[in-house]
């Protein structure tokens, strides 16, 4: 499955170009001479940076000039490169490094599509440079880096969602994994995205009416299981009893084949571990927990009967 990983990452030439622009070298001819690259290579690099909405190109007389765009992530990156001009960002942020730094910045235990040994090698280098601490957190000295990473990921998440539809609404996002809602009337042929949540329920003989379809994008997860559909349904609106009831219906319907180990592991990633444990206990004991995120057993049994699920 095609992902946006290559477009998200930076090449060494892109970062060198951005550093020159941050230093006030706006003319293309000056940048080309300073970096000692061919015109075609510079053109290709600038195109990639435009696709990231980091730069804009204007003409001043007979010459072309390039400058940072006014998008928030571009402004933050310009500030980062200006404040820490002495840092060789072309070696720190290149290739897979930005994915790893984003994961560290988000304090995520969910692995990206980077191999473990690669992750360890980059992390070791970041620590030796003082970019991250021994506790695997970005150093407070580089707080500007944390701000840029967060905003850049937000920008790219929206870019990915718009690839699905310009009517996309992001309901949840983390490390370029996205849960997206679009109107049911919108045709979504893009195979980078998989239907999920209640949009998958008809596959399990649980046809639910909705004005929306829900899609999931992930750089790593190529196949969605019923366990994923359950968790994504809970993410549609956290704490909503209606969606909790729908998730319980599928959990009960598939209880003989559900992989609880996988379900709980993924639930932890979404911050849903406690709720899922309560749901599993609820189906066993029929006792309502002292929280309002689940239905009463009587209401659930009624809904289950309505959909032909044996409660």
Does 74 lie in the same domain as 131?
yes
The band of 1, judged by pLDDT with boundaries at 50, 70 and 90, is very low
Quote the crossing angle between the two packed helices 39-51 and 28-35, to the nearest 10°: 110
Model confidence pLDDT, tens digit, residues 156-215: 999 999 988 889 999 999 888 999 999 998 877 667 799 999 999 999 999 888 899 999
Question: Where on the phi/psi map is residue 121: left (φ > 0), alpha (ψ -120 to 50), or beta?
Answer: alpha
> Is 158 domain-assigned?
no
Domain count, the chain: 2
> Is 210 domain-assigned?
yes
291 vs 283: CA distance, rounded Å: 15
Half-sphere exposure for 91 (CA within 13 Å, toward CB): 7
Cα 77 to Cα 69, 96, 247, 271: the distances in Å are: 10, 18, 41, 30
> Is 311 domain-assigned?
no
**Neighbour tally for 213: CB within 10 Å:** 21
Contact of 244 with 292, CB cutoff 8 Å: no
Edge-to-edge strands, sheet with 194-195: 169-174, 177-183, 212-217, 194-195
Q: Among the three residues 127, 153, 179, which one is the final residue of a domain in this structure?
A: 153
Triad 29, 35, 39: Cα angle to 5°: 50
Does 175 lie in the same domain as 219?
yes
- Nearest to 55, CA basis, from 31, 74, 42, 80: 74
Model confidence pLDDT, tens digit, residues 235-286: 999 989 999 999 999 999 999 999 999 999 999 989 999 999 999 999 999 9
Q: Among the three residues 119, 153, 187, which one is the final residue of a domain in this structure?
A: 153
Does 129 lie in the same domain as 247?
no
Q: Among the three residues 153, 187, 212, which one is the final residue of a domain in this structure?
A: 153
| Residues of the domain holding 278 | 165-306
> Is 245 domain-assigned?
yes
> Is 42 domain-assigned?
yes
> Is 159 domain-assigned?
no
- Nearest to 73, CA basis, from 185, 168, 149, 172: 149
Percent of the chain past pLDDT 70, that is, above it, reads 95
Does 210 lie in the same domain as 117?
no
pTM equals 0.87
Does 284 lie in the same domain as 200?
yes
Does 287 lie in the same domain as 180?
yes
Does 282 lie in the same domain as 217?
yes
Q: Give the helix/strand (H/E) hosting 300.
A: helix 297-306
122 vs 118: CA distance, rounded Å: 6
**Per-residue 3-state assignment (H helix, E strand, C coil) for 46-71:** HHHHHHCCCEEEEEECCEEEEEECCC
């Amino acid at each position: 499955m095609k992902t946006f990983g290559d477009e998200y990452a930076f090449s060494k030439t892109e970062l060198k170009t951005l550093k020159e622009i941050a230093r006030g070298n706006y003319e293309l001819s000056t940048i080309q001479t300073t970096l000692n690259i061919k015109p075609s290579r510079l053109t290709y690099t600038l195109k990639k940076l435009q696709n990231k909405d980091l730069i804009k190109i204007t003409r001043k007389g007979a010459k072309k000039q390039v400058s940072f765009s006014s998008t928030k992530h571009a402004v933050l990156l310009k500030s980062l490169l200006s404040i820490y001009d002495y840092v060789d960002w072309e070696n720190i942020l290149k290739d897979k490094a930005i994915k790893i730094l984003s994961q560290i910045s988000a304090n995520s235990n969910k692995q990206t599509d980077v191999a473990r040994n690669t992750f360890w090698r980059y992390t070791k280098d970041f620590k030796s440079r003082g970019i991250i601490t021994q506790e695997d957190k970005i150093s407070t000295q580089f707080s500007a880096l944390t701000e840029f990473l967060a905003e850049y990921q937000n920008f790219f998440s929206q870019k990915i969602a718009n690839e699905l539809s310009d009517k996309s609404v992001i309901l949840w996002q983390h490390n370029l994994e996205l849960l997206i809602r679009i109107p049911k009337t919108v045709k979504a042929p893009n195979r980078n995205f998989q239907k999920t949540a209640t949009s998958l329920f008809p596959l399990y003989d649980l046809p639910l009416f909705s004005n929306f379809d829900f899609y999931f994008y992930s750089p790593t997860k190529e196949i969605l299981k019923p366990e994923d559909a359950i968790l994504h349904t809970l993410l549609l609106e956290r704490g909503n009893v209606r969606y909790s009831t729908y998730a319980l219906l599928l959990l009960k319907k598939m209880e003989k084949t559900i992989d609880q180990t996988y379900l709980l592991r993924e639930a932890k990633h979404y911050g849903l571990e406690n709720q899922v444990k309560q749901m599993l206990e609820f189906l066993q004991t029929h006792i309502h927990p002292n929280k309002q995120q689940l239905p009463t057993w009587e209401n659930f049994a009624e809904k289950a009967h309505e959909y032909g699920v044996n409660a």
